[in-house]
Amino acid sequence: MLPGLALLLLAARLLMTLLVTGGAGFIGSNFVLDWLRESDEPVINLDCLTYAGNLHNLASLEGDPHHTFVRGNILDGDLVSALLRDHRVRAIVHFAAESHVDRSIHGPDDFIQTNIVGSFRLLEAARAHWMSLDGEAKAAFRFLHVSTDEVYGSLGAHDAAFTETHPYQPNSPYSASKAASDHLVRAYHHTYGLPVLTSNCSNNYGPYQFPEKLIPLVIHHALAGKPLPIYGDGQQVRDWLHVRDHASALRRILAQGTPGETYNVGGWNERPNLEVVHTLCRLLDEASPRPDGKPYSSQIEFVRDRPGHDRRYAIDARKIERELGWRPDETFESGMANTVAWYLAHQDWVRAVTDGSYRDWISRQYQ
């Protein structure tokens, strides 16, 4: 166990439960699974199970006394307050968010409600709970807000990567709503003293990602013989972070991060989208060849670019390495290979999440 985590748990010996919001979603569920592999500290998992929340992600925890799932919304302040009180929560890890840029373009209202108003309700409940604590328990309490690099806007091809002091320049309703929640979290620290931590991560990939995001979408469409849609010229650059690396970074931030600080979490893996797709096609060619012998790359189709599409994101993750000693374990090559292997081995999970509403969404979005 990390020394910082041991000290925090000792100081908070009467408050030994973690509240995770959005813990049935892609990143949230991977964090919960990772946490319970590494710790015996109980988790209260709050998720309202929208399209992206999936209890199948947590099937391996069925019957685990350290995991309690609660279906509910962070907009329900009374529910959140009751959970904080009744389970003696010593830290909140806040994942719950609407997170897909395309969906935010077509329907921004849900993003405003969940990402801004929901975060506000959660902060209010957390502040009241924190104020009710005494002594060591109050000093040990933490609110970890999980955010995105998209709040920083877009970079040019030769611009320096995003640092924690980069100005906010969100360009989509999604990134604007996340930027607003980041500002609220900062304000609650500086105004009320709430011991918050913020992380801004690059593009995640890995197990349990809903098949509307690039990597699982390409794998799913390739195997189904469908077109592989690429926005514009496919040269949009992203820094790719394996979700399990992200989970380990969040554990480190929670254990050792300084309240009020922001930590950028990246994979040091900048790649254009088109290269990512060709890599996935090559891995699928090797692991699950098409019956006709053709390469999966023959299914690539370029489609009209989406409005306001940011050209490049890149994370400078030196602060978290310098101050907390964290670096990702996965390379781009190893992470992509094990991700393809996971999806091939879990086609039952893919079938369970790709229902009629998902197919309607994909058809409408890429037609």
The answer to whether residue 263 is catalytic is no
Could you tell me which of 95, 104, 264, 267 has the C-alpha nearest to residue 175?
Answer: 104
- Quote the CA–CA distance of 302 and 300 in Å, as a whole number: 7
**Model confidence at 2: pLDDT above 60:** no
pTM flag (> 0.85): yes
Q: Which residue spans within the chain are E strands per DSSP?
A: 17-21, 43-47, 67-71, 89-94, 142-148, 196-201, 203-205, 228-231, 237-242, 262-265, 270-272, 300-303
Higher confidence at residue 206 or residue 10? Answer: 206
Token code pair at residue 306: 């989406």
Q: What is the mean pLDDT of the chain?
A: 92
Q: Quick one: pLDDT at residue 358? A: 45
**Tens digit of each residue's pLDDT (9 = 90 or more) over 209-244:** 988 889 999 999 999 999 999 999 999 999 999 999
Residue 13 scores a pLDDT above 70: no
- The rounded distance, in Å, linking the Cα atoms of 24 and 47 is 6
34, 98, 174, 296: the catalytic one is 174
Residue 334 CB: number of other CB atoms within 10 A? 11
The vertex-27 CA angle with 199 and 205, nearest 5°, equals: 100
Phi, psi of 288 (to 5 degrees): -150, 70
Q: What is the per-residue pLDDT across 125-161, written as a single tens digit (0 to 9) for each?
A: 999 999 999 999 999 999 999 999 999 999 999 999 9
| Active-site residue, 150 included | yes
List of domains in the chain: 8-208+242-270+311-330 (3.40.50.720)
Measured between alpha carbons, how far is 348 from 344 in angstroms, rounded to an integer?
Answer: 9
49-73 residue pLDDT tens = 887 788 889 999 999 999 999 999 9
Spatial separation of the C-alpha atoms in residues 261 and 365, rounded to whole Å: 38
Give the span between the Cα atoms of 107 and 115, in whole angstroms.
13
Residue whose pair of structure tokens reads 């999440």 in the numeric block: 353
- Tell me which of 47, 150, 270, 310 is the catalytic residue: 150
* Cα distance between residue 87 and residue 151, in whole Å: 33
Annotated catalytic residue 286: no
Q: Which of 34, 47, 102, 149 is catalytic?
A: 149
